[in-house]
Amino acid sequence: MSHRHHWIVRVTHWINALAIVLMVGSGLRIFNAYPAFARRGETFCCWPWEGHGIPAWLTFGGWLAGARNWHFAMMWVLLLNGCAYLAFVYLHGEWRDLVPRRGDARDAWEMLRFYTYRRADHPRQGKHNALQKLTYFSLPLIAVLLILSGLSIWKPVQLAPLTTLFGGYVWARYWHFMATILLVAVSAVHVFMVFAVDPYSLRSMTTGGYDESLSPESRNARPFRKVLPRRGTTREQLDA
């Protein structure tokens, strides 16, 4: 049994998860007040579902004002929590497990080959496999896009140069929405992979403990394959 995640990583992870859920839910409720991108009297090129709202059960905040109040409150929780996490992984050295390095592109390709049964054995990995690293590393980049496009919508006059950078208010709103879809997609894949490939990581993200003998690499696990420990092998044997 090894200790995988520092308590700061675990706490910021779950605050992050809650804050993202509330931000996405309230953001979708805000979007539903005008579920389109076109300026009044104009048309918009690049969104095929102009005028179609998001199902209410996916939204949070109850009404427009409620959703806005939540959105403008939780944005600070998300930002400060994200900064605390990034500062910690930088100062404590965990960034080395997350920043892509030379060879990660090839390793990611090997992971894809493994997941598609074109390779028999799980590629060797450190704390995370190369696909995971690329996914986790993309999150701060998506966050930067979300924060800057969000500021452009919040203060299109006082921060006009920033809004102009995104192509004006209409496009800033569009990029904010697209970045949200990207974040939701990445998060959905993340949650799917936790349950389908490495449910044991749930433990490492709550109490911190991780059984390396149950890692996907040890189990040679693909999604929904070899999720359980190898048959005929007890925990004690694996620990030995």
Partner 1 sequence: MRDDDLSRRLFLGAGAVAAAQLLLGACDSKGPRSAQRFLRYMERRNEGIERALFRHTAMDAGSPGRRLAGSALPSYYISRTVPAWDESLRGVWRLEIAGLVARPLALSLPELMRVPRITRRVNHYCVEGWTAIEEWTGCRLRELAKIAGASRDARFVDFQSFDSGYHESWDIESALHPQTVIAYGLDGSMLGAAHGAPARLFSPIKLGYKNVKYLTRIVFLPAANGGYWSDRGYEWYAGV
Q: Write out the residues near partner 1 by the rule CB under 8 A.
A: 22, 30-31, 33-34, 36, 39-42, 60-66, 68-70, 72-73, 76, 154-160, 168-170, 173, 206-207
Q: Are 31 and 100 in contact (CB under 8 A)?
A: no
Q: How far is the CB of 213 from partner 1 (least distance, A)?
A: 17
**CB nearer partner 1, residue 115 or residue 175:** 175
List the beta bridge partners of residue 111: none
**CB nearer partner 1, residue 64 or residue 147:** 64
Q: How far is the CB of 153 from partner 1 (least distance, A)?
A: 8
**CB nearer partner 1, residue 137 or residue 177:** 177
* C-alpha span between 224 and 194 (Å, rounded): 10
**CB nearer partner 1, residue 206 or residue 233:** 206
Q: How far is the CB of 230 from partner 1 (least distance, A)?
A: 21
Q: How far is the CB of 215 from partner 1 (least distance, A)?
A: 21
